Amino acid sequence: MAHLDLVSSPLLHRAFRSVKKPPRYMTSHAAHESHPEEQLANFVATATLHQLGYPAYAYDRPWWRRRVKK
């Protein structure tokens, strides 16, 4: 949901698309997490879930991936 919210802003969408994705972006958590769009999306997701009363975790990609595999 955070990614959808971010790309709804044309300015942010253009800015993030101008940043080159690191090697192994789609296959490595570390590479994926190093991209600015992912970092901001993680921040937005975490802040939103905290405001909704969810526990104070970092709701980043590795957190979600662990739950998807269960």
The pLDDT assigned to 53 comes to 94
Q: Is residue 54 predicted with pLDDT exceeding 80?
A: yes
29-35 CB contacts, 8 Å cutoff, 24+ apart? 29/61, 29/62, 29/65, 32/61, 33/60, 33/61, 33/62
Q: Is residue 47 predicted with pLDDT exceeding 80?
A: yes
CA distances from 23 to 2, 38, 65 (A): 23, 15, 20
Residue 66: in which H helix or E strand, if any?
A: helix 61-68
The pLDDT assigned to 34 comes to 92
pTM, to two decimals = 0.76
Question: What is the residue range of 30's domain?
Answer: 2-68
Domain count, the chain: 1
